[in-house]
């Protein structure tokens, strides 16, 4: 769906993925729900629409509709930076595992969505299924008996 600003009609959608520092598997149970809530709230503050999203143990997949007045790097930096600050404030125990208030790793992956929106949304939704299959595979490899 195309949106508009005063003199602009736009449809800018991006598939973005980022990971916790050292790709640690730390985002689970209550923290997973908290990260989801924080990211949605922060996106709403900037006028960014969350089309689809999934918070996994060791990464975040999110499909965003970002107004053209913002760059992708600005929004990702904002989401990662503010969410890390909120998480450290709320869960002070995380400070032991992540020095210097760096909860998220430095980089991120981004791809424009274009006409593949349905396929990308399905891919993001299937992340939980893929994660459980990988966990089962990892447990078989680590404990063959």
Active site residue 28: no
Cα 61 to chain center, whole Å?
4
Q: Are 111 and 62 in contact (CB under 8 A)?
A: no
26 phi, psi to nearest 5 deg: -115, -10
Which residue in the block uniquely carries the two structure tokens 């991006």? 14
Q: Which of 26, 50, 16, 11 shows the shortest CA–CA distance to 98?
A: 26
Query: Catalytic: which of 70, 109, 123, 137?
Result: 123
Query: Which tokens sit at 84?
Result: 């890390």
Q: Are 20 and 103 in contact (CB under 8 A)?
A: yes
Q: Are 109 and 59 in contact (CB under 8 A)?
A: no
Angle formed by the axes of helices 72-90 and 29-46, nearest 10°: 140
For the annotated catalytic residues, the residue numbers are 123
């Amino acid at each position: 769906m195309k949106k508009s600003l005063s003199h602009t009609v736009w449809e800018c959608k991006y598939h973005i993925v980022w990971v916790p520092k050292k790709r640690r598997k730390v985002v689970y149970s209550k923290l997973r729900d908290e990260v989801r809530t924080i990211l949605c709230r922060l996106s709403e503050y900037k006028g960014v629409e969350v089309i689809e999203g999934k918070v996994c143990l060791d990464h975040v997949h999110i499909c965003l509709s970002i107004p053209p007045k913002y760059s992708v790097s600005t929004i990702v930096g904002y989401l990662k930076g503010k969410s890390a600050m909120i998480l450290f404030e709320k869960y002070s125990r995380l400070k032991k595992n992540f020095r210097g208030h760096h909860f998220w790793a430095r980089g991120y992956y981004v791809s424009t969505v274009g006409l593949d929106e349905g396929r990308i949304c399905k891919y993001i939704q299937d992340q939980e299924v893929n994660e459980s299959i990988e966990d089962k595979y990892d447990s078989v490899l680590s404990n063959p008996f």
